[in-house]
Structure 1
Amino acid sequence: MSNRPPTLDEVAQRAGVSTGTASRVINNAQHVSKKARQAVERAVEELGYVPNVAGRSLASQRRGAVVLAISSDDPALFANLFFAEVITGVNAVIEETDLQLMLVLAASERGRDRLARILQSRSADGVMLLALRENDPLSKLADESGVPVVHGGRSLDRTPQWYVDADNRGGARQAVEHLIGVGRQRIATITGQLDLHVGVNRYLGYREALALAGLSDARVAHGDFGEASGAAGMTRLLDEHPDLDAVFVASDAMAAGALRVLHERGRAVPEDIAVVGFNDVVTAQHTQPRLTTVHQPIEALGREMTRMLVRLINGERPTPLILPTELVIRDSA
């Protein structure tokens, strides 16, 4: 018979809880149910489990804070409904814990230096990264910090160990398939930034749908997900491809800009040109006409990122998560 001491995993199994929950009980963490706490305490007594002193010391050094670092230094960021909804989701989960949230805009050198100081001083227990570009220095900075890291979305150069993303490629494909299904054949797109994973995948979804239907994917203008670039892209497409009969736009903000240009040019939507956006932010319901768009669960993305980070901080090993998207048909297509 083995004389080895019981492990934390065995305590968790005996108590019928996750290892992370058992760890929180043993380390006197808050926000553990009375039932779980009693089950763990009973398992500890039955098994004769002795907590690792070094581990408890490490747990006691937690700072009680997490960072949401966004690879942007645009002061208009908070007017972007996508980021506003993500932050709402993050905050909803933070309020269920005893953690504090620090927000860092870290696209500039100054912003990255600020994040580096926070991480190097161990002022945070974990970090969430959002809107990373290809070869974004934030990835390396966070990885080298030694704290748990969760990515909102993926970057083009690597797939992180822990991330929450939406099915951008499948959603874009569904949008274009809808346009094909209602009889459109000269379908253009206004892409997002192609140094972002999300921009590339929405563009690939557009191309896949057209390839499967045997249609041309040559009607392309590039934007940056903002409304002004949607207007500029629509202007370019009308000048270069006046025969187009539909456009898939990679964000609702750009779609709003595109709709404005179509109105100014006297093109009826959807009679002359059908329009589909992506995101389903609240403004999609108030454009003229109301915007057909791909719904992605933006607030849920923020919530799930935060839940994943909390689980990592508590010693659990979550798996990456891809959230489903869904086409919402309104008046524009």
Structure 2
Amino acid sequence: MNPPRGTRPPTIKDVAAAAGTSHATVSRYLNKRSYVSAASGQAIEAAIREVGYVPNRTARSLVRRQTQAIAFVVREHADLFFADPNLSRMAIGANTTLSAAGYQMFMLIVDTDESGERIVDLILGGFVDGAVLVAMQHDDPVAVALSASATPLVTASRPLGDGRTPSVDTDNVAGSAAITRRLRQTGRERVAEIRGPAAAPVSALRHAGFVQAMGEAYDESLVTTAAEWTLAAGSAAMAELLDRAPDLDGVVAASDLLAAGALPVLRARHRRVPEDVGVVGFDDSPWAIQTQPALSTVRQDATATGVRMAEILLGRLAGEDVAGRHEIIPNQVIWRESA
């Protein structure tokens, strides 16, 4: 029978006494560490119900040195993270896969140096079994600290400098090259680029695709770098390009948000889109269909990226050798009115 209210909570010793077996047998059964006969298991289950025992999952995880928890770590301002559909889809893909494997995913946002330090301390303190790292910057202190530890990791975007951490990414180079070529095929001759922020590895990859597609027509004076991934930064970059090259007739932006920021500046300078200037973005975010005209862009499968990151991390936790693995997921050009 259940203990009367106000007494101590039942323990596995109470379960063992009610089941007529040893404390060690109950412990083995609860932690699934070795064989327990079917008869003993049935007796233990009946005893658990009889005494009202509730397993202490935290204590059990410490014994097994597993938490069944994974950290999904994103370096981004909180408002931008929740507004970015690719980041949220990535998180959904990872969470769905981890949940199906019996893991709980925790979302951790790095938006200041202090939050980064707290998150590193949390992960290195053993509160999770591994971590998914997203939107890390060049030489990111969070990524550097975690990659120097034994914590199982996987990252989005290009590999970390350690050469061991596996990664999954959309094909940024090929996607940027494909949409740049498509824009040039419309007859554009003076094509400019709004690069993403210098600290983001993805910016260099998409710039490499732009350079590849431009070939001998590449002109460094028609390239500027946005300060951040915002509408305001896209507007400032567009204004700078027009001041520098008022005759430009095409713009390749490193994201839809930067491209959306460029459009009002072009209108203010009496440059029609797409008649005078063709504009393209990257990501196929909600911004791509909210702008006037709708943006031509590159659609990436962020959900698939999240799924693969989770699968690779689960493989690592199961003992699979995934060191140095880097997977690229294809994307596709979505052609709309802006170009």
TM-score under structure 2 normalisation? Answer: 0.76
Q: Please name the residue that 1:7 is paired with.
A: none
Q: Please name the residue that 1:281 is paired with.
A: 285
Q: Please name the residue that 1:329 is paired with.
A: 335
Return the alpha-carbon distance in structure 2 between the equivalents of residues 165 and 159 of structure 1: 16
**Of residues 258, 269, 276 in structure 1, which corresponds to 2:273?**
269
Q: Please name the residue that 1:218 is paired with.
A: 221
Return the alpha-carbon distance in structure 2 between the equivalents of residues 192 and 266 of structure 1: 25
Residue type of the partner of 2:209?
G
Contact 2:124 2:146 in 1 (8 A): no
Unaligned runs of 5+ in 2: 1-30, 34-60
Query: What are the Cα deviations for residues 209-265 of structure 1, in whole angstroms up to 9, with x where unaligned?
Result: 1125x3534211211222211111111111211100000000011111112222233
Matched, 1:146 2:150: yes
Q: Please name the residue that 2:190 is paired with.
A: 186
**Of residues 97, 101, 104 in structure 2, which corresponds to 1:100?**
104
Q: Please name the residue that 1:238 is paired with.
A: 242
Residue type of the partner of 1:191?
R
After the TM superposition, which residues 112-127 of structure 1 pair with which residues of structure 2 at under 5 Å, given as runs?
A: 112-127=116-131
Return the alpha-carbon distance in structure 2 between the equivalents of residues 192 and 59 of structure 1: 46
Cα distance change on mapping 1:156 and 1:120 into 2, 3 Å: closer
Query: What are the Cα deviations for residues 37-88 of structure 1, in whole angstroms up to 9, with x where unaligned?
Result: xxxxxxxxxxxxxxxxxxxx99932101000112234544322233222222
Q: Please name the residue that 2:74 is paired with.
A: 70
Contact 2:120 2:142 in 1 (8 A): no
Residue type of the partner of 1:220?
V
Q: Which moved more, 1:71-80 or 1:95-104?
A: 71-80
Query: What are the Cα deviations for residues 118-150 of structure 1, in whole angstroms up to 9, with x where unaligned?
Result: 223211110111111111111222123312100
Q: Please name the residue that 1:11 is paired with.
A: none
Return the alpha-carbon distance in structure 1 between the equivalents of residues 267 and 99 of structure 2: 44
Residue type of the partner of 1:236?
E
Residue type of the partner of 1:321?
E
Contact 1:193 1:200 in 2 (8 A): no
Return the alpha-carbon distance in structure 2 between the equivalents of residues 173 and 86 of structure 1: 23
Q: Please name the residue that 2:260 is paired with.
A: 256
Q: What is the deviation of 1:97?
A: 2.4
**Of residues 56, 67, 87 in structure 2, which corresponds to 1:83?**
87
Contact 1:225 1:250 in 2 (8 A): no
Return the alpha-carbon distance in structure 2 between the equivalents of residues 283 and 248 of structure 1: 15
Instruction: For residue 278 of structure 1, give the secondary structure of its aligned residue in structure 2.
Output: coil
Contact 1:155 1:197 in 2 (8 A): no
Return the alpha-carbon distance in structure 1 between the equivalents of residues 77 and 188 of structure 2: 39
Matched, 1:197 2:187: no
TM-score under structure 1 normalisation? Answer: 0.77
Instruction: For residue 146 of structure 2, give the secondary structure of its aligned residue in structure 1.
Output: helix
Aligned residue pair count: 279
Contact 2:168 2:329 in 1 (8 A): yes
Residue type of the partner of 1:297?
D
Q: What is the deviation of 1:293?
A: 0.5
Residue type of the partner of 1:328?
I
Instruction: For residue 111 of structure 1, give the secondary structure of its aligned residue in structure 2.
Output: helix
- Percent identical among aligned pairs is 32
Cα distance change on mapping 1:120 and 1:156 into 2, 3 Å: closer
Query: What are the Cα deviations for residues 17-41 of structure 1, in whole angstroms up to 9, with x where unaligned?
Result: xxxxxxxxxx969xxxxxxxxxxxx
Contact 1:252 1:279 in 2 (8 A): yes
Query: What are the Cα deviations for residues 265-290 of structure 1, in whole angstroms up to 9, with x where unaligned?
Result: 33211110001100111331232111
Residue type of the partner of 2:237?
G
Residue type of the partner of 2:282?
F
Instruction: For residue 95 of structure 1, give the secondary structure of its aligned residue in structure 2.
Output: helix
Residue type of the partner of 2:94?
V
Instruction: Give every structure 1 segment of 4 or more consecutive aligned residues whose post-TM-superposition deviation is greater than 4 Å.
Output: 155-160
Q: Please name the residue that 1:227 is paired with.
A: 231
Cα distance change on mapping 1:287 and 1:305 into 2, 3 Å: same
Return the alpha-carbon distance in structure 2 between the equivalents of residues 313 and 59 of structure 1: 17
